[in-house]
A and B are shown apart, each in its own frame.
Chain A
Amino acid sequence: MRIKDHPILEFKRGEKITFSYNGKKISAYPGETIASALHAAGIRKLTHSQKHQRPRGFFCAIGNCSSCLMVVDGEPNVKTCVVEVQEDMVVEEQQGKGDLSAKV
Protein backbone atom coordinates (compact mmCIF):
# COMPACT_ATOMS: atom_id res chain seq x y z
CA MET A 1 0.00 0.00 0.00
CA ARG A 2 1.18 3.50 -0.80
CA ILE A 3 0.64 6.67 1.23
CA LYS A 4 -1.59 9.14 -0.59
CA ASP A 5 -2.06 12.07 1.77
CA HIS A 6 0.70 13.18 4.09
CA PRO A 7 0.83 16.37 6.17
CA ILE A 8 4.48 17.12 5.35
CA LEU A 9 5.57 15.07 2.38
CA GLU A 10 4.40 15.08 -1.17
CA PHE A 11 5.15 11.97 -3.18
CA LYS A 12 5.62 12.76 -6.84
CA ARG A 13 5.16 9.46 -8.58
CA GLY A 14 5.74 9.16 -12.28
CA GLU A 15 4.20 6.77 -14.78
CA LYS A 16 3.67 3.22 -13.56
CA ILE A 17 6.11 0.56 -14.66
CA THR A 18 5.89 -3.22 -14.35
CA PHE A 19 8.39 -5.86 -13.37
CA SER A 20 8.13 -9.54 -12.60
CA TYR A 21 8.48 -11.29 -9.27
CA ASN A 22 8.67 -15.10 -9.40
CA GLY A 23 6.93 -14.90 -12.77
CA LYS A 24 4.11 -12.63 -11.53
CA LYS A 25 3.61 -9.11 -12.88
CA ILE A 26 3.95 -6.35 -10.25
CA SER A 27 3.50 -2.65 -10.82
CA ALA A 28 5.78 0.00 -9.33
CA TYR A 29 6.79 3.62 -9.72
CA PRO A 30 10.17 4.76 -10.99
CA GLY A 31 12.56 5.57 -8.16
CA GLU A 32 11.21 2.89 -5.82
CA THR A 33 13.57 0.17 -4.70
CA ILE A 34 12.74 -3.43 -5.57
CA ALA A 35 12.01 -4.29 -1.93
CA SER A 36 9.78 -1.26 -1.37
CA ALA A 37 7.81 -1.93 -4.56
CA LEU A 38 7.31 -5.55 -3.45
CA HIS A 39 6.28 -4.34 0.00
CA ALA A 40 3.72 -2.00 -1.55
CA ALA A 41 2.31 -5.02 -3.40
CA GLY A 42 1.96 -6.88 -0.09
CA ILE A 43 5.04 -9.07 -0.52
CA ARG A 44 7.19 -8.94 2.61
CA LYS A 45 8.91 -12.31 2.42
CA LEU A 46 11.90 -11.72 0.16
CA THR A 47 14.05 -14.73 0.86
CA HIS A 48 14.58 -17.55 3.36
CA SER A 49 17.35 -18.65 5.67
CA GLN A 50 19.82 -21.14 4.23
CA LYS A 51 19.65 -23.78 6.93
CA HIS A 52 16.12 -23.83 8.27
CA GLN A 53 14.35 -22.23 5.31
CA ARG A 54 12.76 -19.63 7.57
CA PRO A 55 11.06 -16.73 5.80
CA ARG A 56 13.05 -13.49 5.73
CA GLY A 57 12.24 -9.92 4.85
CA PHE A 58 14.42 -6.85 5.03
CA PHE A 59 15.43 -5.35 8.35
CA CYS A 60 17.48 -2.21 7.72
CA ALA A 61 16.36 -1.07 4.24
CA ILE A 62 19.65 0.77 3.65
CA GLY A 63 21.95 -1.99 2.45
CA ASN A 64 23.56 -3.02 5.73
CA CYS A 65 21.94 -6.27 6.83
CA SER A 66 21.80 -8.46 3.67
CA SER A 67 18.42 -9.86 4.68
CA CYS A 68 16.86 -8.92 1.32
CA LEU A 69 19.15 -10.63 -1.19
CA MET A 70 17.39 -11.79 -4.34
CA VAL A 71 18.19 -12.78 -7.93
CA VAL A 72 17.71 -9.78 -10.22
CA ASP A 73 17.97 -10.22 -14.00
CA GLY A 74 19.92 -13.41 -13.36
CA GLU A 75 22.38 -11.84 -10.92
CA PRO A 76 22.30 -13.37 -7.41
CA ASN A 77 22.79 -11.61 -4.05
CA VAL A 78 21.38 -8.25 -5.13
CA LYS A 79 20.48 -6.00 -2.21
CA THR A 80 16.90 -5.34 -3.25
CA CYS A 81 16.40 -2.70 -0.54
CA VAL A 82 18.76 -0.27 -2.29
CA VAL A 83 18.52 -1.21 -5.98
CA GLU A 84 15.93 0.70 -7.94
CA VAL A 85 13.27 -1.23 -9.78
CA GLN A 86 13.29 -0.94 -13.59
CA GLU A 87 10.72 -1.66 -16.26
CA ASP A 88 10.64 -5.38 -17.16
CA MET A 89 13.13 -6.32 -14.46
CA VAL A 90 13.04 -10.02 -13.56
CA VAL A 91 13.15 -10.53 -9.79
CA GLU A 92 13.21 -13.99 -8.25
CA GLU A 93 13.56 -15.47 -4.81
CA GLN A 94 17.05 -16.87 -4.45
CA GLN A 95 17.77 -20.54 -3.78
CA GLY A 96 21.08 -21.25 -2.12
CA LYS A 97 24.05 -18.93 -2.10
CA GLY A 98 23.88 -17.97 -5.76
CA ASP A 99 26.23 -18.75 -8.60
CA LEU A 100 28.41 -15.95 -9.91
CA SER A 101 30.16 -17.99 -12.60
CA ALA A 102 26.97 -18.01 -14.67
CA LYS A 103 27.20 -14.22 -14.98
CA VAL A 104 30.89 -13.97 -15.93
Chain B
Amino acid sequence: MQKCELAIVGGGPAGLAAALKAREVGLEEIYLLERDNFLGGQLVKQTHQFFGSHKQFAGIRGIDIAEKFKDKLEDRPEIKALKGAVAQGYYEDDVLGYSYRDKFFKLKPEKTILATGASEKMLSFPNNDLPGIYGAGAVQTLMNQYGIVPGEKILMIGAGNIGLIVAYQLLQAGIEVKAVIEATGRIGGYAVHASKIRRAGIPILTYHTIKEARGNEEVEAVVIQQLDEDWQTVPGTEQEMAVDTICLAVGLTPKVDLAIQANCQMAYVAELGGDVPVRDKNLQTSNPRVYIAGDSAGIEEATAAILEGELAAAGAAADILPEGSAIDRERAEIKEKLADLRRGPVGEHIRRGLTRVRRNQNAGRDRYTRSWKS
Protein backbone atom coordinates (compact mmCIF):
# COMPACT_ATOMS: atom_id res chain seq x y z
CA MET B 1 0.00 0.00 0.00
CA GLN B 2 1.30 3.40 -0.97
CA LYS B 3 1.15 6.30 1.50
CA CYS B 4 0.98 9.95 0.54
CA GLU B 5 0.15 13.34 1.96
CA LEU B 6 -2.66 14.24 -0.39
CA ALA B 7 -4.82 12.38 -2.88
CA ILE B 8 -7.06 14.31 -5.25
CA VAL B 9 -9.83 12.48 -7.06
CA GLY B 10 -10.76 14.15 -10.35
CA GLY B 11 -8.61 16.00 -12.87
CA GLY B 12 -11.07 18.70 -13.85
CA PRO B 13 -10.73 22.39 -12.97
CA ALA B 14 -11.12 21.84 -9.21
CA GLY B 15 -8.73 18.89 -9.03
CA LEU B 16 -6.07 20.46 -11.25
CA ALA B 17 -6.15 23.72 -9.31
CA ALA B 18 -5.96 21.75 -6.05
CA ALA B 19 -2.91 19.77 -7.17
CA LEU B 20 -1.00 22.88 -8.26
CA LYS B 21 -1.89 24.86 -5.15
CA ALA B 22 -1.01 21.97 -2.84
CA ARG B 23 2.44 21.75 -4.40
CA GLU B 24 2.87 25.52 -4.34
CA VAL B 25 2.21 25.75 -0.61
CA GLY B 26 4.66 22.97 0.15
CA LEU B 27 3.06 19.50 0.03
CA GLU B 28 5.38 16.94 -1.52
CA GLU B 29 3.52 13.67 -1.96
CA ILE B 30 0.51 14.43 -4.14
CA TYR B 31 -1.52 11.98 -6.20
CA LEU B 32 -4.06 13.15 -8.75
CA LEU B 33 -6.38 10.41 -10.01
CA GLU B 34 -8.24 11.06 -13.26
CA ARG B 35 -10.47 8.37 -14.71
CA ASP B 36 -10.26 9.70 -18.25
CA ASN B 37 -7.19 9.42 -20.42
CA PHE B 38 -6.91 13.18 -20.48
CA LEU B 39 -6.84 15.96 -17.91
CA GLY B 40 -9.13 18.99 -17.87
CA GLY B 41 -12.50 17.37 -17.14
CA GLN B 42 -15.33 19.17 -18.85
CA LEU B 43 -13.14 22.17 -19.71
CA VAL B 44 -11.93 20.32 -22.79
CA LYS B 45 -15.26 20.91 -24.52
CA GLN B 46 -16.04 24.44 -23.36
CA THR B 47 -15.50 26.50 -26.50
CA HIS B 48 -17.25 29.59 -25.15
CA GLN B 49 -15.48 32.46 -23.47
CA PHE B 50 -15.77 32.63 -19.72
CA PHE B 51 -17.08 35.73 -18.13
CA GLY B 52 -18.76 36.60 -14.88
CA SER B 53 -17.76 39.00 -12.21
CA HIS B 54 -14.28 37.67 -11.68
CA LYS B 55 -11.28 38.88 -13.63
CA GLN B 56 -9.33 35.64 -13.28
CA PHE B 57 -10.48 33.86 -16.44
CA ALA B 58 -12.80 36.37 -18.08
CA GLY B 59 -12.62 36.27 -21.86
CA ILE B 60 -10.75 32.95 -21.99
CA ARG B 61 -12.25 29.83 -23.50
CA GLY B 62 -12.53 26.72 -21.30
CA ILE B 63 -10.46 24.69 -23.77
CA ASP B 64 -7.59 27.16 -23.33
CA ILE B 65 -7.87 27.11 -19.52
CA ALA B 66 -7.45 23.33 -19.67
CA GLU B 67 -4.28 23.75 -21.75
CA LYS B 68 -2.85 26.26 -19.27
CA PHE B 69 -3.39 23.86 -16.41
CA LYS B 70 -1.80 21.01 -18.34
CA ASP B 71 1.27 23.13 -19.09
CA LYS B 72 1.63 24.09 -15.45
CA LEU B 73 1.28 20.47 -14.37
CA GLU B 74 4.00 19.44 -16.80
CA ASP B 75 6.33 21.79 -14.96
CA ARG B 76 5.54 19.91 -11.77
CA PRO B 77 6.52 16.31 -12.54
CA GLU B 78 6.67 15.65 -8.80
CA ILE B 79 2.84 15.65 -8.76
CA LYS B 80 1.81 12.10 -9.60
CA ALA B 81 -1.01 12.77 -12.06
CA LEU B 82 -2.39 9.43 -13.21
CA LYS B 83 -4.60 9.47 -16.28
CA GLY B 84 -6.92 6.51 -16.68
CA ALA B 85 -6.90 5.90 -12.92
CA VAL B 86 -10.41 5.16 -11.67
CA ALA B 87 -11.09 5.62 -7.96
CA GLN B 88 -13.02 2.50 -6.98
CA GLY B 89 -13.78 3.09 -3.34
CA TYR B 90 -13.01 4.96 -0.14
CA TYR B 91 -12.79 2.42 2.62
CA GLU B 92 -13.48 2.71 6.34
CA ASP B 93 -9.77 2.71 7.22
CA ASP B 94 -9.38 5.77 4.97
CA VAL B 95 -7.80 3.78 2.18
CA LEU B 96 -8.54 4.90 -1.34
CA GLY B 97 -8.68 2.08 -3.85
CA TYR B 98 -8.18 2.72 -7.55
CA SER B 99 -7.68 0.79 -10.72
CA TYR B 100 -4.98 1.74 -13.17
CA ARG B 101 -3.88 -0.15 -16.27
CA ASP B 102 -5.93 -3.23 -15.32
CA LYS B 103 -4.48 -3.43 -11.81
CA PHE B 104 -5.94 -2.51 -8.43
CA PHE B 105 -3.95 -0.22 -6.13
CA LYS B 106 -4.40 0.94 -2.54
CA LEU B 107 -3.45 4.40 -1.43
CA LYS B 108 -3.48 5.74 2.12
CA PRO B 109 -3.50 9.52 1.97
CA GLU B 110 -3.36 11.76 5.01
CA LYS B 111 -5.90 14.00 3.29
CA THR B 112 -8.16 13.48 0.29
CA ILE B 113 -9.80 16.11 -1.87
CA LEU B 114 -12.86 14.87 -3.72
CA ALA B 115 -13.30 16.82 -6.94
CA THR B 116 -15.40 14.31 -8.82
CA GLY B 117 -17.70 16.71 -10.66
CA ALA B 118 -21.31 16.08 -11.54
CA SER B 119 -23.72 14.05 -13.65
CA GLU B 120 -26.44 15.36 -15.90
CA LYS B 121 -30.03 15.20 -14.78
CA MET B 122 -32.66 13.28 -16.72
CA LEU B 123 -36.25 14.24 -17.33
CA SER B 124 -39.32 11.97 -17.20
CA PHE B 125 -41.37 11.69 -20.36
CA PRO B 126 -42.58 8.82 -22.56
CA ASN B 127 -39.78 7.30 -24.68
CA ASN B 128 -37.06 9.21 -22.87
CA ASP B 129 -34.78 6.20 -23.33
CA LEU B 130 -34.69 6.34 -27.14
CA PRO B 131 -31.28 6.69 -28.79
CA GLY B 132 -30.88 10.34 -29.79
CA ILE B 133 -31.79 11.80 -26.39
CA TYR B 134 -28.61 13.23 -24.99
CA GLY B 135 -27.49 15.34 -22.10
CA ALA B 136 -26.16 18.75 -23.12
CA GLY B 137 -22.69 17.71 -21.96
CA ALA B 138 -22.84 14.64 -24.20
CA VAL B 139 -23.69 16.83 -27.17
CA GLN B 140 -20.69 19.02 -26.36
CA THR B 141 -18.46 15.97 -26.04
CA LEU B 142 -19.47 14.62 -29.44
CA MET B 143 -19.35 17.96 -31.18
CA ASN B 144 -16.50 19.88 -29.54
CA GLN B 145 -14.21 17.10 -28.42
CA TYR B 146 -14.59 14.58 -31.23
CA GLY B 147 -15.92 16.78 -34.02
CA ILE B 148 -18.94 14.63 -34.67
CA VAL B 149 -22.36 15.95 -35.62
CA PRO B 150 -24.77 14.94 -32.84
CA GLY B 151 -27.82 15.19 -35.10
CA GLU B 152 -29.31 17.20 -37.92
CA LYS B 153 -32.42 18.67 -36.30
CA ILE B 154 -32.32 19.29 -32.58
CA LEU B 155 -34.68 20.39 -29.87
CA MET B 156 -33.00 21.93 -26.83
CA ILE B 157 -34.72 21.57 -23.47
CA GLY B 158 -33.74 24.14 -20.88
CA ALA B 159 -32.94 27.83 -21.30
CA GLY B 160 -30.36 28.13 -18.55
CA ASN B 161 -26.79 29.04 -19.46
CA ILE B 162 -25.88 25.51 -20.54
CA GLY B 163 -28.94 25.16 -22.80
CA LEU B 164 -28.31 28.52 -24.43
CA ILE B 165 -24.55 28.06 -24.84
CA VAL B 166 -24.86 24.56 -26.27
CA ALA B 167 -27.64 25.69 -28.63
CA TYR B 168 -25.27 28.36 -29.91
CA GLN B 169 -22.42 25.87 -30.23
CA LEU B 170 -24.73 23.64 -32.30
CA LEU B 171 -25.30 26.56 -34.65
CA GLN B 172 -21.54 27.09 -34.89
CA ALA B 173 -21.22 23.47 -35.97
CA GLY B 174 -23.82 24.05 -38.69
CA ILE B 175 -26.64 22.09 -37.05
CA GLU B 176 -30.30 23.10 -37.13
CA VAL B 177 -31.77 23.94 -33.72
CA LYS B 178 -35.57 23.87 -34.01
CA ALA B 179 -36.29 25.61 -30.71
CA VAL B 180 -35.18 26.01 -27.12
CA ILE B 181 -37.99 25.23 -24.70
CA GLU B 182 -38.13 26.18 -21.05
CA ALA B 183 -40.72 25.06 -18.49
CA THR B 184 -40.50 28.16 -16.32
CA GLY B 185 -41.69 31.59 -17.33
CA ARG B 186 -38.24 33.08 -17.67
CA ILE B 187 -34.96 32.46 -19.40
CA GLY B 188 -32.51 31.40 -16.71
CA GLY B 189 -29.30 32.05 -18.65
CA TYR B 190 -27.56 35.35 -19.30
CA ALA B 191 -29.28 37.73 -21.71
CA VAL B 192 -26.16 37.90 -23.90
CA HIS B 193 -26.46 34.18 -24.68
CA ALA B 194 -30.23 34.37 -25.22
CA SER B 195 -29.95 37.22 -27.70
CA LYS B 196 -27.39 35.31 -29.80
CA ILE B 197 -29.93 32.50 -30.13
CA ARG B 198 -32.77 34.87 -30.95
CA ARG B 199 -30.69 36.75 -33.52
CA ALA B 200 -30.19 33.42 -35.31
CA GLY B 201 -33.98 33.16 -35.56
CA ILE B 202 -34.40 30.32 -33.09
CA PRO B 203 -37.46 30.60 -30.86
CA ILE B 204 -37.00 30.37 -27.10
CA LEU B 205 -40.36 29.10 -25.86
CA THR B 206 -40.95 29.70 -22.15
CA TYR B 207 -43.78 27.85 -20.36
CA HIS B 208 -43.23 24.89 -22.67
CA THR B 209 -42.45 21.30 -21.78
CA ILE B 210 -41.81 18.05 -23.60
CA LYS B 211 -44.82 15.76 -23.76
CA GLU B 212 -43.15 12.80 -25.43
CA ALA B 213 -40.47 11.63 -27.80
CA ARG B 214 -41.54 9.59 -30.81
CA GLY B 215 -39.67 7.01 -32.83
CA ASN B 216 -39.02 3.29 -33.13
CA GLU B 217 -35.31 2.58 -33.08
CA GLU B 218 -34.31 6.19 -32.41
CA VAL B 219 -35.80 9.68 -32.06
CA GLU B 220 -37.85 10.74 -35.08
CA ALA B 221 -40.05 13.46 -33.58
CA VAL B 222 -40.96 15.25 -30.39
CA VAL B 223 -44.23 16.61 -29.05
CA ILE B 224 -44.04 19.76 -26.98
CA GLN B 225 -46.83 21.39 -25.03
CA GLN B 226 -47.56 24.67 -23.33
CA LEU B 227 -47.76 25.04 -19.55
CA ASP B 228 -49.88 27.51 -17.64
CA GLU B 229 -48.59 29.56 -14.75
CA ASP B 230 -49.33 26.73 -12.33
CA TRP B 231 -47.22 24.38 -14.48
CA GLN B 232 -50.25 22.44 -15.71
CA THR B 233 -50.27 21.39 -19.36
CA VAL B 234 -52.65 23.40 -21.54
CA PRO B 235 -54.84 21.01 -23.58
CA GLY B 236 -54.85 21.58 -27.31
CA THR B 237 -51.41 23.19 -27.42
CA GLU B 238 -49.51 20.03 -28.41
CA GLN B 239 -47.13 20.63 -31.24
CA GLU B 240 -45.17 17.94 -33.09
CA MET B 241 -41.71 18.71 -34.46
CA ALA B 242 -39.60 16.52 -36.69
CA VAL B 243 -36.26 16.19 -34.87
CA ASP B 244 -33.66 13.43 -34.71
CA THR B 245 -32.10 14.58 -31.47
CA ILE B 246 -33.37 15.92 -28.16
CA CYS B 247 -30.85 17.65 -25.97
CA LEU B 248 -31.51 17.90 -22.22
CA ALA B 249 -30.00 20.85 -20.41
CA VAL B 250 -31.99 20.45 -17.23
CA GLY B 251 -29.26 20.72 -14.69
CA LEU B 252 -26.59 18.71 -13.01
CA THR B 253 -26.32 16.83 -9.77
CA PRO B 254 -23.10 16.48 -7.73
CA LYS B 255 -21.27 13.16 -7.92
CA VAL B 256 -20.85 12.27 -4.27
CA ASP B 257 -20.44 8.47 -4.20
CA LEU B 258 -16.98 8.63 -2.65
CA ALA B 259 -18.07 11.23 -0.08
CA ILE B 260 -20.83 8.88 1.05
CA GLN B 261 -18.35 6.01 1.25
CA ALA B 262 -16.03 8.25 3.29
CA ASN B 263 -18.88 8.64 5.76
CA CYS B 264 -19.16 12.39 5.17
CA GLN B 265 -22.36 13.80 6.55
CA MET B 266 -24.63 14.68 3.61
CA ALA B 267 -27.41 17.20 3.20
CA TYR B 268 -29.94 17.76 0.46
CA VAL B 269 -29.57 21.34 -0.77
CA ALA B 270 -31.63 22.07 -3.88
CA GLU B 271 -29.65 25.24 -4.68
CA LEU B 272 -26.46 23.19 -4.94
CA GLY B 273 -28.00 20.51 -7.16
CA GLY B 274 -28.89 17.72 -4.73
CA ASP B 275 -27.15 15.77 -1.99
CA VAL B 276 -23.84 17.35 -1.03
CA PRO B 277 -21.38 16.85 1.81
CA VAL B 278 -21.80 19.22 4.73
CA ARG B 279 -18.55 21.18 5.14
CA ASP B 280 -17.00 24.14 6.89
CA LYS B 281 -15.79 27.36 5.28
CA ASN B 282 -12.48 25.70 4.39
CA LEU B 283 -14.33 22.92 2.54
CA GLN B 284 -13.47 20.26 5.10
CA THR B 285 -16.24 17.65 5.42
CA SER B 286 -17.40 15.93 8.60
CA ASN B 287 -14.67 13.37 7.93
CA PRO B 288 -11.63 15.49 8.85
CA ARG B 289 -9.47 13.66 6.32
CA VAL B 290 -11.75 14.58 3.44
CA TYR B 291 -12.22 17.89 1.64
CA ILE B 292 -14.69 18.57 -1.18
CA ALA B 293 -14.38 21.01 -4.09
CA GLY B 294 -15.94 21.98 -7.39
CA ASP B 295 -19.21 20.67 -8.80
CA SER B 296 -19.16 17.69 -6.43
CA ALA B 297 -19.53 20.24 -3.62
CA GLY B 298 -22.38 22.05 -5.39
CA ILE B 299 -23.17 22.91 -9.00
CA GLU B 300 -21.51 26.16 -9.98
CA GLU B 301 -19.11 26.94 -12.79
CA ALA B 302 -15.45 26.38 -13.60
CA THR B 303 -14.02 29.56 -12.08
CA ALA B 304 -15.63 28.75 -8.73
CA ALA B 305 -14.41 25.15 -9.04
CA ILE B 306 -10.83 26.36 -9.55
CA LEU B 307 -10.98 28.58 -6.50
CA GLU B 308 -12.58 25.86 -4.39
CA GLY B 309 -9.86 23.44 -5.48
CA GLU B 310 -7.24 25.91 -4.29
CA LEU B 311 -9.07 26.50 -1.02
CA ALA B 312 -9.37 22.78 -0.30
CA ALA B 313 -5.69 22.27 -1.12
CA ALA B 314 -4.67 25.09 1.22
CA GLY B 315 -6.84 23.53 3.93
CA ALA B 316 -5.29 20.10 3.50
CA ALA B 317 -1.81 21.65 3.53
CA ALA B 318 -2.56 23.65 6.68
CA ASP B 319 -3.57 20.41 8.42
CA ILE B 320 -0.40 18.62 7.39
CA LEU B 321 2.36 21.22 7.44
CA PRO B 322 3.69 22.62 10.72
CA GLU B 323 3.76 26.29 9.73
CA GLY B 324 0.23 27.51 9.12
CA SER B 325 0.38 31.28 9.03
CA ALA B 326 1.39 31.84 5.38
CA ILE B 327 -1.31 29.41 4.30
CA ASP B 328 -3.90 31.18 6.42
CA ARG B 329 -3.19 34.41 4.52
CA GLU B 330 -3.48 32.54 1.25
CA ARG B 331 -6.78 31.02 2.32
CA ALA B 332 -8.20 34.41 3.21
CA GLU B 333 -7.30 35.66 -0.27
CA ILE B 334 -8.97 32.74 -2.03
CA LYS B 335 -12.09 33.18 0.09
CA GLU B 336 -12.22 36.81 -0.89
CA LYS B 337 -12.01 35.90 -4.59
CA LEU B 338 -14.82 33.36 -4.13
CA ALA B 339 -17.00 35.90 -2.34
CA ASP B 340 -16.30 38.35 -5.16
CA LEU B 341 -17.35 35.76 -7.75
CA ARG B 342 -20.59 35.00 -5.91
CA ARG B 343 -21.55 38.61 -5.33
CA GLY B 344 -24.66 40.20 -6.87
CA PRO B 345 -27.92 38.74 -8.16
CA VAL B 346 -26.21 36.02 -10.25
CA GLY B 347 -24.65 34.45 -7.15
CA GLU B 348 -27.75 34.73 -5.02
CA HIS B 349 -28.95 31.14 -5.16
CA ILE B 350 -25.43 29.78 -4.60
CA ARG B 351 -25.06 32.01 -1.53
CA ARG B 352 -28.39 30.74 -0.23
CA GLY B 353 -27.35 27.13 -0.86
CA LEU B 354 -24.04 27.59 0.91
CA THR B 355 -25.78 29.10 3.93
CA ARG B 356 -28.06 26.09 4.03
CA VAL B 357 -25.33 23.50 3.71
CA ARG B 358 -23.53 25.07 6.66
CA ARG B 359 -26.63 25.57 8.75
CA ASN B 360 -27.47 21.95 8.04
CA GLN B 361 -24.32 20.94 9.84
CA ASN B 362 -26.27 19.45 12.71
CA ALA B 363 -29.88 19.32 11.63
CA GLY B 364 -29.78 18.44 7.93
CA ARG B 365 -31.63 15.58 6.35
CA ASP B 366 -29.13 12.85 5.76
CA ARG B 367 -30.06 9.65 4.03
CA TYR B 368 -26.59 8.20 3.95
CA THR B 369 -24.50 8.62 7.04
CA ARG B 370 -24.11 5.34 8.75
CA SER B 371 -21.98 4.30 11.63
CA TRP B 372 -19.72 1.35 11.08
CA LYS B 373 -17.42 2.13 13.97
CA SER B 374 -19.93 1.29 16.68
Contacts and interface: CB of A to CB of B under 8 A. Distances in A.
Contacts of A3: 143, 147-149, 173-174
Given A59-B120, A59-B134, A62-B141, A39 B148 contact: yes
5 contacts: A2-B147, A3-B143, A54-B130, A57-B132, A59-B134
A94 interface: no
B142 A39 contact: yes
Contact of B122 (A33, A59, A61): A59
A8 B61 contact: yes
A95 to B, nearest CB: 17
Contacts of A9: 47, 63, 144, 147
A82 B130 contact: no
A65 B119 contact: yes
Contacts of B122: 59
A1 interface: yes
A11 B234 CA distance: 45
Interface in A62-79: 62-65
Contacts of A46: 131
Interface in A1-45: 1-3, 5-9, 11, 13, 31-33, 36, 39-40, 44-45
Interface secondary structure of B, over-half rule: loop
Interface in B38-91: 42, 47, 61, 63
Contacts of A63: 35-36
B138 A60 contact: yes
Nearest to B138: A61
Contact of A6 (B133, B173, B218): B173
Interface in B283-326: none
Contacts of B372: none
A31 B63 CA distance: 17
Interface of A: 1-3, 5-9, 11, 13, 31-33, 36, 39-40, 44-46, 49, 54-65, 81-82, 84
Given A6-B173, A44-B132, A60 B119 contact: yes
B66 to A, nearest CB: 13
A9 to B, nearest CB: 6
B148 A8 contact: no
B137 interface: yes
Which of A5, A44, A65 neighbours the largest number of chain B CB atoms within 10 Å of its CB? A44
Closest 10 CB pairs of A and B: A57-B131, A61-B138, A11-B147, A44-B131, A61-B141, A1-B149, A36-B146, A64-B119, A3-B147, A40-B148
B255 interface: yes
Given A60-B119, A63-B36, 14 more contacts: A3-B149, A5-B174, A32-B148, A36-B141, A39-B142, A44-B131, A55-B130, A55-B216, A56-B131, A58-B134, A59-B122, A60-B135, A61-B134, A64-B120
A46 B218 CA distance: 11
A61 B173 contact: no
A10 to B, nearest CB: 9
B142 A45 contact: no
Interface magnitude class on chain B:
35 or more
B37 interface: yes
B4 to A, nearest CB: 25
B340 interface: no
Nearest to B119: A64
A61 B135 contact: yes
A33 to B, nearest CB: 7
A8 B133 CA distance: 26
Contacts of B217: 45, 55
A55 B219 CA distance: 11
B374 interface: no
A1 B173 CA distance: 12
Nearest to B120: A60
B151 to A, nearest CB: 9
Given A1-B148, A8-B61, A84-B37, A61 B47 contact: no
Contact of B36 (A32, A55, A57, A82): A82
A3 to B, nearest CB: 5
Given A1-B149, A6-B173, A49 B135 contact: no
Contacts of A1: 148-149
Contacts of B37: 84
Nearest to A52: B129
